């Protein structure tokens, strides 16, 4: 069953009780490790003598594949950004082909642990039974058996000094200038009001998916229809935000996924990925590994029961070479590929290992340990058909195509050192949500701010032609010029239309493939939504329909209010009334009208309830009974 497969939280402490002692009594391995240990001692001495440790390797963009082996490993060999809770990820061969793994910390000593296989059958992670020490060098040795041949391997990495940011809870305005909705039957929801300003019969079918926050009402994932009517809203507790609500496929079935957690003022997320069924019940929660928390920017479920998620991890770093201070910090942008069945980290990629700090359009001058240098700011990652990855980095103004096994940056698109010729019309600034489309073109949400670089934000579809040049295929601009300083996304719909969520500007638009505006809606006031999407969706909530009643005058018939949060099947509401809860009979019906339907009753009755009827007239839900 799916819940059994979604065990994604790794409790390394409990794994310690089950840890298997890995034998390492191999003279060849010990000899191989001695040279690495000598270098490790030197690296540790240098680190301990520094005011603040280094955070970048001496050689950028190295391969994750160990020489002479098919193993792609993380942490990356010779890197300085591993976490104290890192597992040793080894991809490329079955787990049975990996043996004699020995892990030694230059300060913490030998780490026993367990080698655990990935459910995809192509590797394993070594799970140390205890944490590493910040600043120490960790040496990993072992043997890999391939084609009747045994090859010894060894590599090392340095554990970063993680920068723990102070907690700062966001405050929202308490005023309510008609920005949010109120329902008699569901008074606790209070979702934002959505106003539709353009509609066309040519739009793609489906509902709209958003994650409003920063308004006077509660934050939470929300679905609404083309008329702006609420379909589903999940209000979250104060201090908890959500982003990136979308429909994905898990084991061939549609599921709702979104990120949920805390957003510090520094502009990234610390939380988890939620996975819910069509009945709005939890299937699982996907956590980042290696002691980190999932970021708000990206979550993709892949067909092989893996998922991609972004992670931000501030680490101490000497930034004097970039006009910053010695006692500063830098935010490392990371993506992880998670095995959904086991929760193991199959792959972990760090921007600090591959992209120089000098490529940033942000400055290290005003940064500190409280406000780290966010030089990269990953905001999308996608596995490409070739087995590589496409990522977008806001603060380098560039997209990066990565080789799958090695993790090396193969091609840079835009930014300070673009490997393709980007015409002025295609140059992006602070962009978000780069996606490779089925025809090989790439869609991008180009923010153009902040600070202001372009006159307005736009959606782009670009093509990379032979000869390493780029051409703009489609450019989408809102008729009321919008400048979204953050967030935003662009989605290709099944009929070829493009759906744009404008991020910090709370608008949602659908354009034809030729750029004609077909649909436009917006939330009011201070609300924002990180991204927005359009999907086909059938909601079948397990909860009961909600009901409220209000008398029109004393001893007169009542008006009944009916709603069913998340349901998409109800066509008609039927009111039941009677002198007791046991003697209810139908007294009125009304076609569903928006989220909440008001139904007048012909006569006063002490008790009332409502039934939801589908298009065929079948009863699909009955509310509780209330005193009318």
Each domain of the chain, given as residue ranges in start order, spans 2-158, 194-535, 546-627
Q: 258 and 244 in contact (C-beta within 8 Å)?
A: yes
Select from 452, 432, 515, 525 the least CA-distant residue to 212: 525
Residue with tokens 């050192």: 417
Distance between CA 118 and CA 139 in Å, rounded?
Answer: 22
**How far apart are alpha carbons 573 and 619 in whole angstroms?**
9
pLDDT of residue 169: 77
Percentage of residues of the chain with pLDDT beyond 70? 89
Q: How far apart are CA 559 and CA 577, in angstroms?
A: 12
**Residue 509, CA distances (Å) to 215, 239, 380, 492 in order:** 20, 29, 20, 12
What pLDDT score was predicted for residue 595?
98
Residue 94 has a pLDDT of: 98
194-535: CATH topology is: Neuraminidase (2.120.10)
Return the bridge partners of 146, or none: 149
pLDDT in tens, 478-506: 999 999 999 999 999 999 999 999 999 99
In whole angstroms, give the CA distance from residue 103 to residue 113. 9
Q: Which residue has the tokens 């002691």?
A: 291
Given a cut of 50, the residues of the chain with pLDDT beneath it are 1-50
**CA 393, CA 350: separation in Å to the nearest integer?**
12
Degrees, nearest 5: CA angle 311-317-320? 135
The per-residue DSSP string of 318-361 comes to: --GGGTS-SSEEEEEEEEEEEETTT--EEEEEEGGGTS-GGG-S
pLDDT at 552 (0 to 100): 62
How far is the first Cα of the chain from the last one, in angstroms, to the nearest whole number? Answer: 43
CATH code for 546-627?
A: 2.60.40.10
Taking only the tens place, the pLDDT of each residue in 139-180 is 999 999 999 899 999 999 999 999 999 998 766 555 666 799
Q: Tokens 């992880």 appear where?
A: 336
CA distance 27 to 152: 11
Distance CA 533, CA 477 (A): 17
pLDDT at residue 453, as a whole number: 97
Pair of tokens at residue 319: 């930034």
User: Which single residue is written with the structure tokens 């970021």?
Assistant: 295
State pTM to two decimals.
0.91
* Residues contacting residue 141 through CB under 8 Å, at least 6 positions apart: 24, 29, 32, 33, 36, 100, 101, 102, 152, 153, 154
Helix (H) or strand (E) holding 244: strand 241-250
Distance separating alpha carbons of residues 300 and 272, to the nearest angstrom: 13
Whether 194-535 shares its CATH topology with 546-627 is answered: no
């Amino acid at each position: 069953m799916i819940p059994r497969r979604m065990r994604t939280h790794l409790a390394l402490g409990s794994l310690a009780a089950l840890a298997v002692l890995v034998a390492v009594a191999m003279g060849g391995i010990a000899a191989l490790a001695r040279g690495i240990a000598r270098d490790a001692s030197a690296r540790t001495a240098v680190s301990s003598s520094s005011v603040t440790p280094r955070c970048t390797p001496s050689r950028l963009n190295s391969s994750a594949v160990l020489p002479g082996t098919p193993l792609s490993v993380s942490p990356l060999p010779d890197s300085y950004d591993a976490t104290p809770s890192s597992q040793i990820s080894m991809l490329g061969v079955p787990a049975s082909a990996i043996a004699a793994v020995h892990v030694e910390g230059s300060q913490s000593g030998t780490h026993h642990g367990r080698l655990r296989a990935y459910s995809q059958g192509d590797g394993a992670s070594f799970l140390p039974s205890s944490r590493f020490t910040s600043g120490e060098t960790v040496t990993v040795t072992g043997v890999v058996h391939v084609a009747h041949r045994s090859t010894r391997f060894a590599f090392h990495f340095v554990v970063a000094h993680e920068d723990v940011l102070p907690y700062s809870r966001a405050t929202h305005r308490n005023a309510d200038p008609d920005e949010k909705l109120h329902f008699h039957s569901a008074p606790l929801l209070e979702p934002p009001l959505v106003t539709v300003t353009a509609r066309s019969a040519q739009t793609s079918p489906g509902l709209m998916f958003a994650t409003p926050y920063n308004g006077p009402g509660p934050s939470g994932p929300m679905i609404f229809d083309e008329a702006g009517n609420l379909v589903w809203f999940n209000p979250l507790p104060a201090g908890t935000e959500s982003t990136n609500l979308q429909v994905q496929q898990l084991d061939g079935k549609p599921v709702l996924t979104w990120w949920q957690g805390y957003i510090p003022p520094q502009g990234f997320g610390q939380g988890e990925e939620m996975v819910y069924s069509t009945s709005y019940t939890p299937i699982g929660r996907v956590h980042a590994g290696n002691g980190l928390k999932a970021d708000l920017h990206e979550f993709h479920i892949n067909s092989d029961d893996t998922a991609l998620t972004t992670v931000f991890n501030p680490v101490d770093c000497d930034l004097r070479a970039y006009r910053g201070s010695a006692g500063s910090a830098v935010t490392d942008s990371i993506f992880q590929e998670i095995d959904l069945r086991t929760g193991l980290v199959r792959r972990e990629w760090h921007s600090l290992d591959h992209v120089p700090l000098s490529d940033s359009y942000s400055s290290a001058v005003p940064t500190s340990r409280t406000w780290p240098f966010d030089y990269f700011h990953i905001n999308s990652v996608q596995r490409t058909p070739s087995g590589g990855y496409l990522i977008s980095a806001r603060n380098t103004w560039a997209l990066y195509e990565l080789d799958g096994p090695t993790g090396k940056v193969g091609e840079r698109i835009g930014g300070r050192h673009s490997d393709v010729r980007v015409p002025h019309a295609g140059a992006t600034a602070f962009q978000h949500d780069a996606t490779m489309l089925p025809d090989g073109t790439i869609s991008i949400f180009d923010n153009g701010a902040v600070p202001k670089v372009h006159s307005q934000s736009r959606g782009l579809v670009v093509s990379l032609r032979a000869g390493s040049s780029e051409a703009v295929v489609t450019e989408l601009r809102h008729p009321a010029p919008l400048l979204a300083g953050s967030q935003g996304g662009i989605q290709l719909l099944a009929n070829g239309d493009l759906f744009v969520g404008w991020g910090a500007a709370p608008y949602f638009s659908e354009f034809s493939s030729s750029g004609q505006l077909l649909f436009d809606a917006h939330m009011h006031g201070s609300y924002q939504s990180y991204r927005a999407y359009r999907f086909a969706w059938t909601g079948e909530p397990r909860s009961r329909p909600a009901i409220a009643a209000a008398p029109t005058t004393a001893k007169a018939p009542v008006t009944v209010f009916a709603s069913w949060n998340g349901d998409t099947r109800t066509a008609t509401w039927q009111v039941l009334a009677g002198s007791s809860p046991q003697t209810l009979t139908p007294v009125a019906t009304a076609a569903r009208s928006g989220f909440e339907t008001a139904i007048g009753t012909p006569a006063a009755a002490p008790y009332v309830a409502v039934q939801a009827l589908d298009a065929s007239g079948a009863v699909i839900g009955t509310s509780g009974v209330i005193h009318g």
